């Protein structure tokens, strides 16, 4: 019988702990008991794979979902989803959501008094191709204030949700922009202890993705957990 191969544990410091007190909302929501390590079973190394119909052919372009064009700086975000061994993650669903150019979300609980944009909903989805590549066309989201501490502002960011090949590889993260002065002060960004790991959350400006007379290009590669090389001994 072939033994079950699990997914590698993250290197120390490369993932946030659940509790990070400077991010105040974590205090009442992070578990207090330690996580319990479990043996590898089929339940963690399998996961959903979605039919293509879930993402319409327009769903990757957040600037073409309404009658008019949204306000803001048009951008294209491209990247590759791979695992820690560099293998492409093919045909996996990528979901994104973001604020509009003024820093306002189309959500009933967003009380920031920046204007909504009737031509921008801020949601997109797509599948990676055979090489793990994805592409979104959108506008650069605005920074916005939040209540975490006095004069707190979130750096510009786009939320990403990636399924990957298995339940254990599921990742939800945020993509940031290079040179954003608010990154230095953001507790969510700084919840990741390792500096090199934090930098992987920052996209890079990319001439190859920049379209003349059309849009600025940013590259954001995503790495999912790699597979264990040897069977777990329990």
Partner 1 sequence: MPGHSTPSQTVGPFFSIGLDELNRANLAEGSTGERVVVRGRVIDGDGQGVPDAVLEIWQADADGRYHHPEHASTPNEATSFFGFGRIPTDAQGQFSFTTIKPGPVHDPQGKPQAPHLQISVFMRGLLRQLVTRLYFPEEPLNISDPVLRVVPESRRDTLIARQAGSKETTLEWNVSLQGPNETVFFDC
Could you say which residues in the range 142-161 bind partner 1, by CB under 8 A?
Answer: 159, 161
Q: Is 125 a catalytic residue?
A: no
Structural contact between residues 131 and 105, judged by C-beta atoms closer than 8 angstroms: no
Structural contact between residues 103 and 144, judged by C-beta atoms closer than 8 angstroms: yes
Q: Is 107 a catalytic residue?
A: no
Query: Exposed (0-12), middle (13-18) or buried (19+): which is 162, by Cβ within 10 Å?
Result: buried
Q: How far is the CB of 52 from partner 1 (least distance, A)?
A: 14
> Which is nearer to partner 1, 134 or 189 (by Cβ)?
189
Q: What single string gives the DSSP state of each residue in 205-230?
A: E-TTTPBTTTBEEEE--EEEPPBPSS
The yes or no reply on residue 35 touching partner 1 (CB under 8 A) is yes
Q: Is 87 a catalytic residue?
A: no
The yes or no reply on residue 202 touching partner 1 (CB under 8 A) is no
The yes or no reply on residue 97 touching partner 1 (CB under 8 A) is yes
Which is catalytic among the residues 7, 20, 23, 105? 105
Kindly identify the residues of this chain, within the stretch 67-96, that bind partner 1 according to CB under 8 A: 82, 84-86, 95-96
Q: Is 176 a catalytic residue?
A: no
The yes or no reply on residue 10 touching partner 1 (CB under 8 A) is yes
Q: Which residues contact 58 (CB under 8 A, 6 or more apart)?
A: 64, 65
The yes or no reply on residue 125 touching partner 1 (CB under 8 A) is yes
The yes or no reply on residue 115 touching partner 1 (CB under 8 A) is no
Q: Could you tell me which of 222, 209, 225, 138 has the C-alpha nearest to residue 175?
A: 222
Which is catalytic among the residues 157, 176, 198, 225? 157
Q: Which of these segments, 66-74, 119-127, 130-138, 177-185, binds partner 1 (CB under 8 A)?
A: 119-127
Q: Which residues contact 69 (CB under 8 A, 6 or more apart)?
A: 63, 119
Kindly identify the residues of this chain, within the stretch 41-70, that bind partner 1 according to CB under 8 A: 41-50, 54
Structural contact between residues 227 and 8, judged by C-beta atoms closer than 8 angstroms: yes
> Which is nearer to partner 1, 58 or 214 (by Cβ)?
58
The yes or no reply on residue 110 touching partner 1 (CB under 8 A) is yes
Which is catalytic among the residues 154, 176, 198, 225? 154
The yes or no reply on residue 185 touching partner 1 (CB under 8 A) is no
Report the residue from 61, 71, 106, 129 that binds partner 1 according to the rule CB under 8 A.
106
* DSSP secondary structure code for residue 58 in this structure: T
Structural contact between residues 216 and 76, judged by C-beta atoms closer than 8 angstroms: yes
Report the residue from 11, 64, 115, 118 that binds partner 1 according to the rule CB under 8 A.
11
Q: Give all strands (DSSP E) within 108-210, no chain letters.
A: 123-127, 133-139, 144-146, 152-154, 157-162, 171-176, 204-205
Residue positions annotated with a catalytic role = 105, 144, 154, 157, 159
């Amino acid at each position: 019988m072939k033994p079950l191969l699990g997914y590698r544990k993250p290197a120390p410091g490369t993932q946030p702990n659940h509790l990070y007190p400077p991010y105040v909302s974590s205090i009442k929501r992070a578990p207090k008991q330690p996580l319990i390590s479990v043996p590898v079973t089929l339940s963690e190394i399998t996961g959903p794979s979605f039919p293509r119909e879930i993402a319409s052919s327009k769903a990757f372009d957040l600037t073409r979902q309404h009658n008019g064009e949204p306000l803001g700086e048009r951008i294209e975000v491209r990247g590759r989803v791979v695992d820690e061994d560099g293998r492409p993650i093919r045909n996996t669903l990528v979901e994104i959501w973001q604020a509009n150019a003024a820093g306002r979300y189309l959500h009933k609980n967003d009380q920031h008094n920046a204007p909504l944009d009737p031509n921008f909903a801020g949601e997109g989805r797509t599948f990676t191709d055979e090489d793990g590549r994805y592409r979104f066309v959108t506008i650069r989201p605005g920074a916005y204030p939040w209540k975490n501490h006095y004069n707190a502002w979130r750096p510009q960011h786009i939320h990403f949700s990636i399924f990957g090949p298995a339940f254990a590889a599921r990742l939800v993260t945020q993509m940031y922009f290079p040179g954003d002065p608010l990154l230095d002060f953001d507790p969510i960004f700084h919840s990741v202890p390792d500096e090199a790991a934090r930098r992987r959350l920052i996209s890079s400006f990319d001439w190859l993705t920049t379209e003349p007379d059309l849009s600025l290009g940013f590259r954001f590669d995503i790495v999912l957990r790699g597979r264990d090389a040897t069977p777990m001994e329990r």
